[in-house]
Structure 1
Amino acid sequence: MRNPLLPILIVEDDFFITEMVRTALAEGGFQSEVVTSGEQAIPLLEDKHSEYRALVTDINLQGKLTGWDVAKRARELGPDIPVVYMTGAAAEEWPSHGVPKSVLLQKPFAPAQIVTAISQLLNQIPPPHE
Protein backbone atom coordinates (compact mmCIF):
# COMPACT_ATOMS: atom_id res chain seq x y z
CA MET A 1 0.00 0.00 0.00
CA ARG A 2 1.24 3.48 -0.78
CA ASN A 3 2.13 5.61 2.19
CA PRO A 4 -0.78 8.01 2.87
CA LEU A 5 1.67 10.54 4.32
CA LEU A 6 3.41 11.07 0.98
CA PRO A 7 2.53 14.36 -0.69
CA ILE A 8 0.68 14.98 -3.91
CA LEU A 9 2.66 17.12 -6.33
CA ILE A 10 0.62 20.07 -7.62
CA VAL A 11 1.89 21.90 -10.72
CA GLU A 12 -0.15 25.08 -11.17
CA ASP A 13 0.82 28.67 -11.88
CA ASP A 14 -2.43 30.34 -10.76
CA PHE A 15 -2.24 31.20 -7.05
CA PHE A 16 -6.00 31.03 -6.44
CA ILE A 17 -6.40 27.63 -8.09
CA THR A 18 -3.34 26.36 -6.23
CA GLU A 19 -4.81 27.43 -2.89
CA MET A 20 -8.21 25.93 -3.70
CA VAL A 21 -6.65 22.61 -4.69
CA ARG A 22 -4.27 22.56 -1.72
CA THR A 23 -7.12 23.30 0.71
CA ALA A 24 -9.41 20.69 -0.85
CA LEU A 25 -6.68 18.06 -0.68
CA ALA A 26 -5.85 18.95 2.94
CA GLU A 27 -9.52 18.65 3.87
CA GLY A 28 -9.53 15.28 2.11
CA GLY A 29 -6.60 14.11 4.24
CA PHE A 30 -3.82 14.63 1.69
CA GLN A 31 -0.57 16.56 1.96
CA SER A 32 0.67 18.49 -1.04
CA GLU A 33 3.77 20.10 -2.47
CA VAL A 34 3.36 22.92 -5.00
CA VAL A 35 5.48 24.13 -7.91
CA THR A 36 4.48 26.59 -10.62
CA SER A 37 6.13 25.20 -13.75
CA GLY A 38 7.09 22.02 -15.54
CA GLU A 39 10.71 23.12 -15.33
CA GLN A 40 10.39 22.97 -11.52
CA ALA A 41 8.32 19.77 -11.46
CA ILE A 42 10.43 17.48 -13.63
CA PRO A 43 13.65 17.69 -11.56
CA LEU A 44 11.60 16.99 -8.42
CA LEU A 45 10.01 13.98 -10.05
CA GLU A 46 13.38 12.74 -11.29
CA ASP A 47 14.99 13.14 -7.87
CA LYS A 48 12.18 11.74 -5.74
CA HIS A 49 9.35 10.36 -7.89
CA SER A 50 8.71 7.54 -5.42
CA GLU A 51 8.03 10.15 -2.73
CA TYR A 52 4.88 11.42 -4.47
CA ARG A 53 1.51 9.77 -4.13
CA ALA A 54 0.00 11.46 -7.19
CA LEU A 55 0.43 14.32 -9.67
CA VAL A 56 -2.08 17.13 -10.20
CA THR A 57 -1.10 19.40 -13.06
CA ASP A 58 -2.45 22.28 -15.06
CA ILE A 59 -1.94 21.86 -18.81
CA ASN A 60 -0.84 25.38 -19.80
CA LEU A 61 2.02 26.33 -17.49
CA GLN A 62 4.67 29.03 -17.30
CA GLY A 63 7.75 28.10 -19.29
CA LYS A 64 8.17 25.75 -22.23
CA LEU A 65 6.93 22.53 -20.63
CA THR A 66 3.23 21.70 -20.48
CA GLY A 67 1.28 19.56 -18.06
CA TRP A 68 1.26 16.89 -20.78
CA ASP A 69 5.09 16.88 -20.64
CA VAL A 70 5.16 16.69 -16.84
CA ALA A 71 2.70 13.79 -16.71
CA LYS A 72 4.52 11.82 -19.41
CA ARG A 73 7.80 12.16 -17.50
CA ALA A 74 6.11 11.22 -14.23
CA ARG A 75 4.74 8.04 -15.84
CA GLU A 76 8.15 7.17 -17.30
CA LEU A 77 9.54 7.30 -13.77
CA GLY A 78 6.57 5.67 -12.00
CA PRO A 79 4.12 3.85 -14.30
CA ASP A 80 1.36 3.72 -11.66
CA ILE A 81 1.43 7.34 -10.44
CA PRO A 82 -2.10 8.77 -10.56
CA VAL A 83 -2.39 11.86 -12.79
CA VAL A 84 -5.11 14.51 -12.66
CA TYR A 85 -5.04 17.23 -15.30
CA MET A 86 -6.70 20.62 -14.76
CA THR A 87 -7.45 22.88 -17.70
CA GLY A 88 -9.59 25.72 -18.86
CA ALA A 89 -8.79 25.44 -22.55
CA ALA A 90 -7.06 22.16 -23.50
CA ALA A 91 -9.67 19.50 -22.68
CA GLU A 92 -10.09 18.46 -26.33
CA GLU A 93 -6.38 17.52 -26.43
CA TRP A 94 -6.67 15.02 -23.56
CA PRO A 95 -7.46 11.92 -25.68
CA SER A 96 -4.33 12.43 -27.78
CA HIS A 97 -1.92 13.95 -25.23
CA GLY A 98 -3.05 12.62 -21.84
CA VAL A 99 -1.47 9.59 -20.20
CA PRO A 100 -3.61 6.43 -19.84
CA LYS A 101 -5.77 6.05 -16.75
CA SER A 102 -5.71 9.76 -15.96
CA VAL A 103 -8.53 12.15 -15.11
CA LEU A 104 -9.16 15.58 -16.59
CA LEU A 105 -11.02 18.29 -14.68
CA GLN A 106 -12.34 21.21 -16.71
CA LYS A 107 -11.91 24.57 -14.93
CA PRO A 108 -13.81 25.79 -13.06
CA PHE A 109 -14.45 22.69 -10.97
CA ALA A 110 -15.71 22.12 -7.43
CA PRO A 111 -13.00 21.50 -4.81
CA ALA A 112 -14.51 18.13 -3.94
CA GLN A 113 -13.94 16.96 -7.52
CA ILE A 114 -10.15 17.01 -7.08
CA VAL A 115 -10.35 14.84 -3.95
CA THR A 116 -12.72 12.42 -5.67
CA ALA A 117 -10.48 12.17 -8.74
CA ILE A 118 -7.35 11.48 -6.66
CA SER A 119 -9.16 8.93 -4.49
CA GLN A 120 -10.57 7.06 -7.50
CA LEU A 121 -7.16 6.89 -9.17
CA LEU A 122 -5.43 5.74 -5.97
CA ASN A 123 -8.02 2.99 -5.59
CA GLN A 124 -7.17 1.69 -9.08
CA ILE A 125 -3.49 1.07 -8.28
CA PRO A 126 -2.84 -2.65 -7.97
CA PRO A 127 -1.52 -3.77 -4.59
CA PRO A 128 2.22 -4.53 -4.49
CA HIS A 129 3.25 -8.16 -4.83
CA GLU A 130 4.77 -9.66 -1.74
Structure 2
Amino acid sequence: MVEDEYPLQAVVEEALLEAGFATDILSSAEEALTLFRSGMKEYRALVADVNLKGRLSGWDLARQVREREPTLPVVYMTGGVADDWGSLGVPSSILLQKPFAPAQLITAVSQLLNHVTRE
Protein backbone atom coordinates (compact mmCIF):
# COMPACT_ATOMS: atom_id res chain seq x y z
CA MET A 1 0.00 0.00 0.00
CA VAL A 2 1.36 3.39 -0.98
CA GLU A 3 -0.02 6.35 0.97
CA ASP A 4 1.82 9.45 2.14
CA GLU A 5 -0.66 10.43 4.88
CA TYR A 6 0.43 8.58 8.03
CA PRO A 7 -2.98 8.51 9.77
CA LEU A 8 -4.56 6.92 6.70
CA GLN A 9 -1.67 4.46 6.43
CA ALA A 10 -2.56 3.08 9.84
CA VAL A 11 -6.28 2.74 9.04
CA VAL A 12 -5.65 1.01 5.71
CA GLU A 13 -2.96 -1.27 7.13
CA GLU A 14 -5.23 -2.35 10.00
CA ALA A 15 -8.11 -3.08 7.61
CA LEU A 16 -5.91 -5.14 5.29
CA LEU A 17 -4.31 -7.08 8.15
CA GLU A 18 -7.67 -7.82 9.77
CA ALA A 19 -8.88 -9.18 6.42
CA GLY A 20 -5.90 -11.53 6.27
CA PHE A 21 -3.76 -9.62 3.77
CA ALA A 22 -0.04 -9.15 4.37
CA THR A 23 1.03 -5.61 3.54
CA ASP A 24 3.98 -3.31 3.07
CA ILE A 25 3.26 0.33 3.84
CA LEU A 26 5.23 2.82 1.75
CA SER A 27 5.08 6.60 1.44
CA SER A 28 6.16 7.17 -2.16
CA ALA A 29 5.80 5.65 -5.61
CA GLU A 30 9.58 5.62 -5.92
CA GLU A 31 9.91 3.43 -2.80
CA ALA A 32 7.19 1.12 -4.08
CA LEU A 33 8.80 0.72 -7.50
CA THR A 34 12.17 -0.05 -5.95
CA LEU A 35 10.66 -2.76 -3.76
CA PHE A 36 8.47 -4.16 -6.54
CA ARG A 37 11.33 -4.30 -9.05
CA SER A 38 13.66 -5.96 -6.54
CA GLY A 39 11.62 -9.15 -6.79
CA MET A 40 12.21 -9.83 -3.09
CA LYS A 41 8.48 -10.37 -2.59
CA GLU A 42 5.65 -11.47 -4.81
CA TYR A 43 2.89 -8.89 -4.62
CA ARG A 44 -0.71 -9.83 -5.34
CA ALA A 45 -2.20 -6.32 -5.49
CA LEU A 46 -1.36 -2.62 -5.42
CA VAL A 47 -3.30 -0.12 -3.31
CA ALA A 48 -2.11 3.42 -4.01
CA ASP A 49 -3.09 6.98 -3.34
CA VAL A 50 -3.34 8.96 -6.56
CA ASN A 51 -1.59 12.08 -5.20
CA LEU A 52 1.73 11.17 -3.65
CA LYS A 53 4.68 13.25 -2.58
CA GLY A 54 7.63 12.87 -4.90
CA ARG A 55 8.14 12.76 -8.61
CA LEU A 56 5.64 10.00 -9.44
CA SER A 57 1.90 9.83 -8.84
CA GLY A 58 -0.17 6.78 -8.05
CA TRP A 59 -1.24 6.81 -11.71
CA ASP A 60 2.43 6.60 -12.78
CA LEU A 61 3.17 3.88 -10.26
CA ALA A 62 0.32 1.65 -11.43
CA ARG A 63 1.27 2.04 -15.11
CA GLN A 64 4.89 1.08 -14.40
CA VAL A 65 3.90 -1.87 -12.22
CA ARG A 66 1.47 -3.08 -14.88
CA GLU A 67 4.27 -3.03 -17.47
CA ARG A 68 5.84 -5.92 -15.52
CA GLU A 69 2.66 -7.51 -14.14
CA PRO A 70 -0.19 -6.82 -16.61
CA THR A 71 -2.91 -8.42 -14.48
CA LEU A 72 -1.87 -7.15 -11.03
CA PRO A 73 -4.98 -5.79 -9.26
CA VAL A 74 -4.85 -2.03 -8.66
CA VAL A 75 -6.99 -0.06 -6.22
CA TYR A 76 -6.58 3.70 -6.34
CA MET A 77 -7.50 6.02 -3.47
CA THR A 78 -8.12 9.74 -3.84
CA GLY A 79 -9.46 12.62 -1.85
CA GLY A 80 -9.56 14.76 -4.97
CA VAL A 81 -11.57 14.71 -8.13
CA ALA A 82 -11.84 11.26 -9.66
CA ASP A 83 -12.35 12.56 -13.21
CA ASP A 84 -8.85 11.50 -14.33
CA TRP A 85 -9.43 7.83 -13.56
CA GLY A 86 -10.78 7.08 -17.04
CA SER A 87 -7.78 8.59 -18.81
CA LEU A 88 -4.95 7.99 -16.31
CA GLY A 89 -5.99 4.83 -14.50
CA VAL A 90 -5.00 1.36 -15.66
CA PRO A 91 -7.69 -0.99 -17.03
CA SER A 92 -9.53 -3.28 -14.61
CA SER A 93 -8.78 -1.09 -11.61
CA ILE A 94 -11.01 0.31 -8.89
CA LEU A 95 -11.01 3.85 -7.52
CA LEU A 96 -12.12 4.61 -3.96
CA GLN A 97 -13.06 8.16 -3.07
CA LYS A 98 -11.75 9.27 0.35
CA PRO A 99 -13.10 9.02 2.92
CA PHE A 100 -14.11 5.41 2.46
CA ALA A 101 -15.02 2.65 4.89
CA PRO A 102 -12.33 0.00 5.46
CA ALA A 103 -14.83 -2.61 4.27
CA GLN A 104 -14.98 -0.87 0.88
CA LEU A 105 -11.22 -1.30 0.50
CA ILE A 106 -11.35 -4.98 1.42
CA THR A 107 -14.22 -5.54 -1.00
CA ALA A 108 -12.33 -3.80 -3.81
CA VAL A 109 -9.11 -5.77 -3.27
CA SER A 110 -10.99 -9.06 -2.91
CA GLN A 111 -13.08 -8.40 -6.01
CA LEU A 112 -10.00 -7.73 -8.15
CA LEU A 113 -8.09 -10.70 -6.74
CA ASN A 114 -11.05 -12.98 -7.43
CA HIS A 115 -11.30 -11.65 -11.00
CA VAL A 116 -7.59 -12.35 -11.67
CA THR A 117 -7.83 -15.82 -10.11
CA ARG A 118 -10.70 -16.78 -12.43
CA GLU A 119 -8.87 -15.74 -15.61
TM normalised by structure 1 equals: 0.87
The answer for the alignment partner of 1:26 in structure 2 is 17
Instruction: Report the AA paired with residue 100 of structure 1.
Output: P
The answer for the alignment partner of 1:91 in structure 2 is 82
TM normalised by structure 2 equals: 0.94
The more displaced of 27-36 and 46-55 is: 46-55
Report the RMSD for the aligned CA atoms in angstroms.
Answer: 1.5
Instruction: Report the AA paired with residue 119 of structure 1.
Output: S
Percentage of matched positions with identical amino acids: 52
Of residues 27, 34, 37, the one that matches 1:46 is: 37
Any idea what the Cα deviations from partners look like across 1:74-130, whole Å, max 9, x if unmatched?
1011011100000011411000000000000000000111100000000101458xx
Q: 1:69: Cα distance to partner?
A: 0.6
Quote the Cα distance in structure 1 between the aligned partners of 2:104 and 2:114. 15
Any idea what the Cα deviations from partners look like across 1:19-54, whole Å, max 9, x if unmatched?
111000111111100110011111111112861010
Q: Secondary structure at the match of 2:53?
A: coil
Aligned 8 A contact 1:82 1:118 in 2: yes
Unaligned runs of 5+ in 1: 1-9
Aligned structure 1 segments of 4 or more residues deviating by more than 3 angstroms: none
Q: Secondary structure at the match of 1:85?
A: strand
Residue 114 of structure 2 corresponds to residue 118 of structure 1? no
Aligned 8 A contact 1:37 1:62 in 2: yes
The answer for the alignment partner of 1:3 in structure 2 is none
